Structure 1
Amino acid sequence: MRQVAAMLKAIHAQENRTAAQERAVKVVAELCEMALAKAADLIDSKFNGTLTYYSYPPNPLV
């Protein structure tokens, strides 16, 4: 399970939404190879909703 958690973190650690979407596709493929089809289906159907923070404007105070 730690490997799956690391995969999910890798999706959200990407620099932009496009890279995160590309990483999510790779994660889905990796999960299918690991015989975790239900997890792959869940990520495939729901990950776009978790990427909405990429559309927020950058924080100028940081």
Structure 2
Amino acid sequence: MHTPSSKQLVVVAYDISSNKRRNTLVKLLRGYGVRVNYSVFECRIGKAGLSALKMRIDEIQIM
């Protein structure tokens, strides 16, 4: 029997003009998923991972 994965596919796309913020975000996202385009990442993560990712992105926004 196949059990559904608790992980979901999350697509993260961004348009950030600040080099510092953009580079920080790219480094973060590389730890969560794969880059599929210059400003798009696909991440397979669970609910806890998604919550953590959102918090880290919020921290980057206030840099």
Q: TM-score normalised by the shorter chain: which range applies?
A: 0.3 to 0.5
Length-normalised TM-score, structure 1: 0.34
Q: Which has the higher contact order (CA 8 A, sep 6+)?
A: 2
Higher strand share: 2
Higher helix share: 1
